[in-house]
Amino acid sequence: LVYLGTVLWARRTGNSLALISGAPMTNWWVMGGYMLLGLGALGLSARYLPDKLQRRGAGLVFLGTLFGVVPFIVLAVAFPSFLKTERFLFYGVVPLILVPITFAYAIIRFGFLDIQVILRKSLLYTVTTAMVTAVYALGIASFQLLFRGTRIADSPYFPVIFALAIVLLFEPLRQRLQGPVDRFFFAERLRLQRAMVEMGEAITREVEIGPLVAQLVERLPELLGLRFSALYLLSEDRLVRQAGPEVLPEELPVIGILHDQLKRQGSLVRLEELAPLRLLSSDVEDLSSNLTKAGVELVGLVATTRRAVGLILLSGKAGQTAFEKEELQLLRGLLNQASIALETSILLDERTRQAELERELKIAASIQSSLLPEKMTAADGWLLAAVCRPAQEVGGDFFTELPGRLDGEHVVVYGDVSGKSISGALMMMAAHEVLNSVALANPEPEELLRLANERLYSLRGGRNRAEFQAGSFVALGYLGFRAGEGVLSYTLAGQPPPMLRRASGVVECLEMPEHRVPLGALRIGGHRILEVGFGAGDLVVAYSDGVVEAQSPEGEFFGEDRLAEGLKSAPADPQDVVNYLLEEIEVFTCGQT
């Protein structure tokens, strides 16, 4: 069209036609403009394409076109036309070979232009169109031959009826032809689809984490031709590698902004697509840099609507070809199935561990309750009652009777371990054993507490550290009653002060000792015994901090003031006092004690 327009314009104006290498100059200007636009498009593609491999391919084609076509225009077109010499023609033609070479290398090495899809679709449409056209032509000829010269053929409605008949008769045939054609030209893709479907079915059947990990880390790279795959599962506040190459970190940080971005983009993204996040978060910047160095190309979120499960990291393909769009879609579907299967497996493991823990707690609770005295004995002239209700199924509170230093003296100690559950129960049992064993040879209160403190402190180190570190302190109260005497010997090691109700109804707190650090907290103790006089009808209530720290549904503490008020109105018998105060706490907490 440009050539024709140039010739017509020259004839109309009467001007001579300017030629370069036998072609009008206008043609060369148009070709030069197209070349500049093409080079500009390639340059922009090399800079802004989302896929790194595609960018490299576009950059290579840009260089090949630039160094192949420009010498041709200068040496093979311009020089012969303006300098009237063809001395440099050879040097202008030879560089043209760079254009097909760089195109071919970019297509094979970097998947540029997705040439496989172009060829497959072109061949598919050509073959399908040819076959269907042949069948349609045969059908049309048959119908025309069948109805030629008849009244039906002369009817104005015949073309409409004829077209509908062709569609109804031959559309099923076209659909049947489509299947074999697809299988022939897209055999590799269909094989991958079937393999991914089979893998997804295998994943959904698994309930153990081990086989699931094997499918994602071993089988998946084989199907897609990846160099490696790695799976990280969420454990508390970090991602722990379950399987994958050693070049990857053992643990990855949990980054909220990264999780949200993966969720928004469909759970699977190219690592380079996280570039905007790298500007917003230094954590994402560090993580992306480390993963890029390790050869990671895709990052996938393993999560369901209920919880995050982990991350999967995928390398590029072994042949350095780019991922096709269909492959990414298959991967996203597989990740959704894997997320559900992994969540189910994790929930089953958690439930199994919970059941085992519940059995252990029941055993520990049984052992703990067996250590508490079934019945308390009191010295002559004294009445005694005690109760222990753990905050959990297994707690760290206890009380026990110890031998006194004199005949007729009774000693009661009550303790509260800083740890709860299994760790608290272990420390409670250790404290119970230490106090009873030491008291047999050293009933003197201050010596008893000194030796017990040293032994409990020693449990914090050495091979016992892992077992007792969580419950390594024992808040203890010591009460000594002498038969026939109205004197109470006591000391406190981290416990709140007991409350004394006189026969007159006045309630007061007992004096606190100077040194009251819990047993096992420091290597050296230094606890001292105090004494207080008792009269007929006087009553003392010793308690652990769980009493005053009991909370109402609104979060208010029971507190010492409510305990003192309850003690004022409590009955006289010790067991009745215990029951009365427990009821007060039960009402205050609405049964959540």
CA 204 to mean position of chain CA atoms: 19
Rounded to the nearest integer, the mean pLDDT of the chain is: 80
Q: Which phi and psi (to 5°) does residue 52 adopt?
A: -60, -45
How far, in Å, CA of 558 to CA of 573, rounded? Answer: 23
CA-based R_g, the chain, Å = 44
- pLDDT above 70 coverage of the chain, percent: 74
Secondary structure class of 317 (helix, strand, coil): strand
Indicate the pLDDT class of residue 560, thresholds 50, 70 and 90.
very high
How far, in Å, CA of 238 to CA of 232, rounded? Answer: 9
Residue 566 clears pLDDT 90, i.e. is over it: yes
Indicate the pLDDT class of residue 70, thresholds 50, 70 and 90.
confident
- Higher-confidence residue: 38 or 577? 577
- Higher-confidence residue: 516 or 321? 516
What does the pLDDT average to over 154-183?
A: 62
Residue 351 clears pLDDT 50, i.e. is over it: yes
Residue range 20-30, pLDDT digits in tens: 555 566 666 67
How deeply is 230 buried, as exposed, middle or buried, from its count of CB atoms within 10 A (0-12, 13-18, 19+)? buried
Q: Which of 69-73, 177-181, 235-239, 349-353 has the lowest mean pLDDT?
A: 177-181
- Higher-confidence residue: 519 or 88? 519
Q: What beta strand segments (E) does 431-567 contain?
A: 474-482, 487-493, 499-501, 507-509, 530-533, 539-541
pLDDT value, residue 29:
66
Residue range 509-544, pLDDT digits in tens: 999 998 889 998 888 888 999 999 999 999 999 999
Indicate the pLDDT class of residue 425, thresholds 50, 70 and 90.
confident
DSSP string, 345-367: HHHHHHHHHHHHHHHHHHHHHHH
CB 186 within 8 A of CB 178: no
Indicate the pLDDT class of residue 470, thresholds 50, 70 and 90.
very low
Residue range 94-126, pLDDT digits in tens: 888 888 888 777 776 666 555 554 545 555 555
Which amino acid is residue 592, in one-letter code?
Q
Q: What is the reported pTM?
A: 0.51
What does the pLDDT average to over 259-284?
A: 85
582 bridge partner residues? none
What does the pLDDT average to over 401-411?
A: 86
pLDDT value, residue 60:
84
Indicate the pLDDT class of residue 93, thresholds 50, 70 and 90.
confident
Residue range 334-344, pLDDT digits in tens: 888 888 888 88
pLDDT value, residue 463:
52
- Higher-confidence residue: 149 or 558? 558
- Higher-confidence residue: 225 or 538? 538
- Higher-confidence residue: 389 or 445? 445
Indicate the pLDDT class of residue 68, thresholds 50, 70 and 90.
confident
Residue 267 clears pLDDT 90, i.e. is over it: no
